[in-house]
Amino acid sequence: MEQTNNSRIWNLIGLGLVIIFFLVAAIPMVWKSFTQSLPTDSKEITIRFAHWQLEGGVRRAFDLAAAEYTKLHPNIRVEQLAIPDKIYVNWLITQLIGGTAPDIVQMGKGMSDERTTRYFLPTSALSTKPNPYNKGTTLENTPLRETFIDDMESVFSTTLLDHYGVPLSAFTLRMYYNLDLLQEITGSTELPATYGQFATLLKQTTEFSQKTKKRLYHIAASGDNAPSLIDKVFRSQTGKLGDGLAYDFLPSTRPPAAHLGMAFANGEWDFNEPSMRAAVTLLRHLGSHLQPGFMQVSRDDAMFNFIQGNALMMPGGSWDYSSISAQADFPVGVGMIPTPLPDEDSRWPFSEGIISDESTNASVVMAVTKESRHSEIAQDFLLFLCSLATNEMWAQESGWLPAVRSAKIGSESQSFMPNLNGFTGGFSPGFSGADTKRVVQTSIGLAVNPNGSVDKFTNHLNSEFRNALASDLERNAIAAKINSQRADTVSLALYVLSQNGDASAADKLAIQLEGMSATDRGYQLGLQAIKLLK
């Protein structure tokens, strides 16, 4: 009997603990959801925004901007969610589909036209009016669109014919170098300007490494930063090839995928093309000086090698500067990534010259989600972020380039200013989408590994590229078809409005029809290319 009582007491204690823990977990959650659903004018409102920029300076800059915004609007709190880029796409798609996305998210990864229209609010209406937060500045009366360095081209969808989001920064690709080490090796503090001189520097580095018995990598690289470098290498050699192909330009600085795909399907180019082989030869030369096994190395590991003084150089974007300069205990130099010049070396007859940063668009695009319960406040916060004063502060704090015209930049950011002199370059093979990118990236070892060769890479690409291209073009064609169907309804509405005397609708209709015609051309060409490829 006593045993039964004891057991009952223990059971009651167990049950009591379960109830207590359940209440401890449940009450705050119920309270939180209850307070968040209260009318907005009486309570504090929280705006959440998500991005994948984990760099310390950027997060700090966002925090400062959020704090400044709260000073202006004491009942609004802004929270940032920094999501690692490796999982950002999965996270974002899950949040969007599940209807739990934050008020503002960074666009770029995992976006498609359908997701853009379905989940994001367009900013075209805002783009024609001045930004109220620019009051008292030189941009006071300037329409929002014209306050950006690229006139919001980077956030304009040529297929959806609307602006989505606002940019906060601009990215350029540069070569970081250990200034002390470079001086020790060459006596100079500047990176060579030509590829020939660069090749000499690589030789000198090998000799220095042997002489000092110091294990020194010429260029620290990773699977994250190498693709940009590879892209530049291909573009430096395929400009003339691209110019010779028959394609129309869509509103873009590079040949569109369907046109390049059609040219490939027609046999106008393949990987035996001399300029392609020249690009792979250049890739092999440059790749042999990147740290071994770089495609398996993470960005952090590559940066670690550079910061520890184990590598002379490291390719990276302007986004890397704040992290590198904060951690390196040596002066960090920033130079252009050298590509061969036409008159420099007869080995590179396909080079046109310096590849410019002309195609550099503004980046770090933030957009308001349609699910946002406070979409007007979220849009207001975006306007605050891209105002002259805030963007300037944000850029200086993060060490990144600003996206807003006239924003002052620190002296350290000068090296990252886009170089607009030179050629736009050609194309790189991963141009059409996920599958061609996959084929190229998984084959890089065939070109750059010690046991690889130009032939191994080009033969492999010649056999694998066709199917990958067909698969990408098929996906692009389906997307184009959906876009056209969606645009039909919008065009009809614009047509009715223009017939009723709405001049702006007539203008928009003209742009819409031009865009639809380009999309349709691309769609038709894509279908033809798929037929030829299969």
Partner 1 sequence: MSAPISPKKALAEWKLYLFLVPSLILILLFSYYPAISAIYHSFFRWNGGESKEFIGFQNYAQIFNDKIFLQSFLTIGILIVANLLKLIPSIIMAVFIHRLSSTKFQYWYRVLLVLPMVVPGLVTLFIWKFFFNPNLGALNYFMEFSGLKTLLVHLDQFFGWGGIFLNDFPISWLGEPQLIVPSLIIWGFPWIGAVGVLMFIAGLQSIGTEIYEAADLDGIGPIGKFIYIEFPLIITQIRVIVVLMMIGTLQSFGMQFLLLGENGGPGGAGMVPGLWMFNRAFIAGEFGYACALGLCLFVVILGLTFINNKFLRVEK
Positions in the binding site for partner 1 (CB under 8 A) = 89-90, 93, 97, 110, 112, 114-115, 118, 217, 223, 291-298, 301, 304-305, 310, 433-435, 438, 441-446, 449-451, 467, 471, 475, 478-479, 482
Residue 322 or 436: the one with the smaller Cβ distance to partner 1 is 436
Specify the residue, 78 or 311, whose C-beta has the smaller distance to partner 1: 311
Report, in Å, the least distance between residue 469 CB and partner 1: 13
The strand pair at 104-106 and 45-51 is best described as parallel
d(CA 376, CA 457) in angstroms, rounded, equals 52
| Dihedral sign for Cα atoms in the order 265, 270, 274, 275 | positive
Cα–Cα distance, 140 to 125 (Å, whole number): 17
Distances (CA, A) of 310 to 153, 178, 181, 214, 317: 40, 10, 10, 9, 20
> In terms of CB distance, is 291 or 512 closer to partner 1?
291
SS3 43: coil
**Nearest to partner 1 of 221, 355 (CB atom):** 221
State in angstroms the smallest separation of the CB of 294 from partner 1: 8
Cα 425 to Cα 198, 225, 253, 283, 359, distances in angstroms: 20, 19, 10, 16, 10
Nearer to partner 1, 148 or 431 (CB): 431
Comparison of 77 and 475: residue with beta carbon closer to partner 1: 475
Nearer to partner 1, 233 or 444 (CB): 444
What ranges make up the beta strands (E) of 217-267? 217-219
Closest approach, Cβ 311 to partner 1, in A, equals: 10
| Least distance in angstroms from the C-beta of 134 to partner 1 | 35
- Cβ 212 to partner 1, closest distance in Å? 17
For the bound state, the minimum distance from the C-beta of residue 304 to partner 1, rounded and expressed in Å, comes to 8
Q: What single letter denotes the amino acid at residue 17?
A: L
- Phi, psi for 130 (deg, rounded to 5): -65, 150
**Dihedral of CA 165/168/170/174: which sign?**
negative
* Angle of CA points 15, 17, 22, to nearest 5°: 95
CA distance 148 to 395: 14
Minimum gap (Å) between residue 447 Cβ and partner 1: 11
Nearer to partner 1, 295 or 386 (CB): 295
- Give least dist CB 471 to partner 1, A: 8
Name the phi and psi angles at 411, rounded to 5: -60, -30
Give the span between the Cα atoms of 355 and 338, in whole angstroms.
9
| Closer to partner 1 by Cβ: residue 77 or 481 | 481
In whole angstroms, give the CA distance from residue 98 to residue 259: 36
In whole angstroms, how close is the CB of 366 to partner 1 at the nearest point? 21
